[in-house]
Homo-oligomer: A and B are copies of this chain.
Amino acid sequence: MTKILIVEDEPNMVAGLRDNFEFEGYEVLSAYDGSEGLEKALANSPDLVLLDVMMPKMSGLDVCKQLKAKRPSIPIIMLTARGQEIDKVVGLELGADDYVTKPFSIRELVARVKAVLRRSHTLPKEHDRYSFSDVEVDLRTCRIARAGKQIEFSAMEFELLKYFICNAGEVLSRERLLEDVWGYDRYPTTRTVDAHLVRLRQKLEPSPEQPRFFLTVHGMGYRFVG
């Protein structure tokens, strides 16, 4: 199901949007300020973000800039109040894909969301680059850089990392990882997964002994939040 993240500080607005988009068949996530919004966008990889400009903690523009830096492929539609014309322009410069001026008709917004999604889906998938923390991953050329410097990854490590990135936010059991990353014809014990996690953490975590991105979910498996 297509996931939409709404970042907006006014609860009534969120509720209204949620109703409408859920009615349209979307899965709706919401966040009530900028920093929460950025966090949820990175953690849940929504298909599109609706982003209010005026918000507490972190302005929509900052969220837009930071999100586009880390996830260039997630489309963003900015919600601006009338009279924030300048912001609109700036927003587009920052990488927003479209903007809508409040008060807007919900039908117009839905139409724009659909349009942006259609464009983003037919676009030459930019799904080949990904970044989190100070790490940049190029899924296509299989290169990984940390703080701008190349890091060597073995084939297995890279496959595993790729799988985590493609399934960010989800809890991945060791069984599932073995099956989907290692494949049917190889049968390492499950501790193999743990051993690899150690190396992923050593290479990519700011402090490997206290993971922030490659999290353990006790009794269930691992979860990557980037």
Contacts and interface: CB of A to CB of B under 8 A. Distances in A.
A171 B108 contact: no
A154 B219 contact: yes
Given A44-B141, A140-B170, A141-B169, A155 B1 contact: no
A35 B141 CA distance: 21
Contact of A170 (B44, B141, B217): B141
B171 A142 contact: yes
A179 B141 contact: no
Interface string A155-184: 110100000000001110001100100001
A189 to B, nearest CB: 12
Copies in the complex: 2
A178 to B, nearest CB: 8
Contact of A108 (B142, B169, B185): B185
A200 to B, nearest CB: 16
Contacts of A148: 32, 36
A32 B147 CA distance: 11
Contact of A142 (B27, B176, B217): B217
Contacts of A111: 179, 184, 187
A184 B99 CA distance: 12
Contacts of A158: 220
Q: Which 7 A-B pairs have the closest CB atoms?
A: A155-B219, A142-B171, A155-B220, A141-B169, A108-B184, A111-B184, A107-B187
